[in-house]
Structure 1
């Protein structure tokens, strides 16, 4: 990534409307006249992906025969995978033995930040509005120019960038330096949270976002629980409704909210702050926020069940079943209000297997969250149906007339679980860029739609939901688990490796595990068992 020439300095909305911006601060007057809040200006630093240029440099360099001891700030060796264009380890090299690339006037810290920005920042203008951390370059640039007081975000970005690059390049020196930066970021964050003014700043909230990402890239959660969930909950409550008044604040809130409810839904954790007031602020016209609203109702049902004394009454269980059915209906309606660009496409591989593709990988990520939520809800309804039968039987006295034991048709619930699980598996080849939108095999290194680390990161938890909550066949278990290993090794996200090993432990079939062929599309089942 290098400076890409002088870009337009107008605000985002004026550039989108293709009109001249007056560039007033903090927001331009044209947006006010237009009746919209000014979304702000592009960052001062503009990056361009030059991974392939670096790749060509690497091919011209002969790896040194003997590795030399280097310090974290020196010219650390690195190789780039010729297929993915991403740094990776060589099968013939040791974990720290990499080929040397000389890049003038560039430290490894700067290179790591460029790699991190390329892999984890997604511009929403190119992904149907689904950006990821696109506000970060602007905040980071301001920090490095001394426009803000707290260095917390700078430490967090650089530590996470070094960890990400260190993992994919198998460079322990970078990982060691990343851990030191993480410690400094945490220390700085504590100071920012103690300050009434700094705690409310976007830079502080963004720091928690990036530090939570560091935790997942490094694979250092407390079991499967994030140590930053409490920080998210504290800041969401502290910042109040005002955080949703601009896109930057809204994007940070969406990340934090999703991060928090991963633990509520997948791990049964109870949130420590009431955010019901936020739900009224979500945009029902936005597909992602509408899905967040529907899944929030599911988590509210979980919490209501946890708060009820045991054993529940028959009427209470029936109420839960009714609420679960209403939530499932609302989730099913989510698919009916999507534009054509959001809808999945059913295609066939060269071997004749049914595959599911999308307009963009980011759409696939959101759809898999939807499917995982449907699976969890069907499992909940199955459990409630059994609970109702047990409660009724316990209330029945000798001589009482027969009582209907359950209210749900379990066959349809199980069929929905199998359908959702199969659809997740059918979408894996596209999600991993093994096939294009039409289901044709891709040529490594020549595909115009490479998988970004941010997109792979978004796929991890839906895959875990399906493994832990669904009814996958053994083939599907092996398939999803292999994909988690693949994300962990090629993208350097260690959380994926941890979840893959946990899935292996859960299913207790270490000896039966067989990895599918390189093109996962060849191994996808066309229908569940």
Structure 2
């Protein structure tokens, strides 16, 4: 009516249903040129420079997404978004919203593209990631030469991401040196930024994360920590909730441990009695700090139900695993456990090195008791690190698991697996393809000879039906969980007390982290364990680097 056109009425249904197209079909089949052109016109997978609007798509993928958007989306979901398994780097969210933070955004693109390249086995995407890395490195160096820009949170965040890029892309033992250089630069930058950084939430979060990494680097190299790091750690308590003071207390004790290891290296401390006394003092302070941990930082230990004598969560080590409120909480506990393992290894090494022929029977028995006690404690700490692995690999959260598990309090209700994500395959489909520099795992999870893949246990139909629909679906895993787990696992595996079976299980964890999360650092560590290395370079540097792959 608006167009003032007379309506022709409904079309004849028979006219719609029957239509002679024989001649059209014959004509198309006799035109090979058009057919070939139509095939060639299909869109291809495109990966090119950031300036050309690169897209990654399949012939059926509509719409087309820029590669950078996919990379940033991956990092957002795995490292920045909320939830118990993510949010590890949430401080990046307000920083990346400023388009003027060019170095940070380039570093973000580099890490995201590198991780996706590893997962998808895409050399072209890795080439693009390295271009972004080069850009980010140049822009970061430029910012560091500016007195104002060098104090900005986005500059320090770019340094963090550049170090993360080295862990994601490493292919040999050189990555550890490059990563440590980034940590040295980060340490100097933290000192230069001064106390003002702690007054901002992003600055406080950056400081907390980097302090743990810097301490790990210093322990590895057996070098002293700066006094500025200690002063800033003391000052950080003023800007935190009282419940979070446990984090700074741990950081201060670990700094003292790094200085203790450095003093042993340069022979400042040589007396065995003083070594043992100092080690026991540090251990006692660590235990005292964790006796009454506030609820947000605590965890639950979950007994794993058994079916026909087999665990329904075969990816776990032992008969239980831990559930935490967050990755930050589990990382804090694993830093605590790793520190105590190193302390008790120092005690064991010191006692073993004493000349037993010059001591009386009573002193000898006391030494042996001390060494035996340290071995027992270290083994339990190793078990606890391994018990945290399922959480890091996606096995639920503190708030979501209360009604699904049988807690250690004695309840025997079975695990309800019908409404949560389940056990992952050991490698993604892409990891089964050949890729230079990424050696495939010998088994899907555990490389121990004679042991079946744990995933074969849950494929049995009786197990699936008896557990209310358990199926080998993928966990919703977070890359942040894998990134924060690799060092504690390596310390546990190389503690000198780990059994071959445990080392093989940890090797399987490294495979999972490397192939499913795109973190090559884990693959390098897994190769280290497969080669049978038992080095503990943070205690015995003459044995060589423990990352010699």
1:356 equivalenced with 2:310 (yes/no): no
Partner of 1:208: 159
Counterpart CA distance in 1 for 2:253 and 2:474 is 34
1:243 equivalenced with 2:207 (yes/no): no
Which is worse superposed, 163-172 or 496-505?
163-172
Partner of 1:333: 288
Cα distance change on mapping 1:66 and 1:377 into 2, 3 Å: farther
User: Cα deviation per residue 1:96-135 (whole Å; 9 max; x = unaligned)?
Assistant: xx7763335x411122111111111143xx449x942212
SS at 2:282 equivalent: helix
Partner of 1:257: 211
Instruction: Choose which of 259, 277, 287 in structure 2 pairs with 1:300.
Output: 259
SS at 1:344 equivalent: strand
Counterpart CA distance in 2 for 1:474 and 1:66 is 52
User: Cα deviation per residue 1:31-61 (whole Å; 9 max; x = unaligned)?
Assistant: xxxxxxxxxxxxxxxxxxxxxxxxxxxxxxx
Partner of 2:299: 343
1:245: Cα distance to partner?
A: 1.7
Structure 2 gaps of 5+ residues are 1-39, 312-317, 407-414, 425-470, 535-549
Equivalent residue runs for 1:455-470 within 5 Å: 455-470=481-496
1:485: Cα distance to partner?
A: 0.8
The alignment's TM-score, normalised by the length of structure 2, stands at: 0.67
Cα distance change on mapping 1:381 and 1:492 into 2, 3 Å: same
The CA RMSD measured in Å over matched residues stands at 3.3
Contact residue 234 and residue 248 of structure 2 kept, 8 A = no
Cα distance change on mapping 1:401 and 1:418 into 2, 3 Å: closer
Equivalent residue runs for 1:480-491 within 5 Å: 480-491=506-517
Equivalent residue runs for 1:19-30 within 5 Å: none
SS at 1:451 equivalent: coil
Cα distance change on mapping 1:99 and 1:435 into 2, 3 Å: farther
Partner of 1:378: 344
User: Cα deviation per residue 1:343-381 (whole Å; 9 max; x = unaligned)?
Assistant: 332412323552122143523333222222221111011
Partner of 1:101: 61
Higher relative contact order structure (alpha carbons within 8 Å, sequence separation ≥ 6): 2
Counterpart CA distance in 1 for 2:150 and 2:503 is 43
Contact residue 209 and residue 255 of structure 1 kept, 8 A = no
Equivalent residue runs for 1:95-244 within 5 Å: 101-104=61-64, 106-123=65-82, 126-127=83-84, 131-142=87-98, 144=99, 146=100, 151-219=102-170, 222-225=174-177, 226=179, 227-244=181-198
Contact residue 361 and residue 431 of structure 1 kept, 8 A = no
Counterpart CA distance in 1 for 2:341 and 2:360 is 35
User: Cα deviation per residue 1:428-479 (whole Å; 9 max; x = unaligned)?
Assistant: 3343235774274554499897321112111111101111125111111111
Counterpart CA distance in 1 for 2:134 and 2:230 is 34
Structure 1 gaps of 5+ residues are 1-63, 79-97, 509-529
In the alignment of these two chains, the number of paired residues is: 407
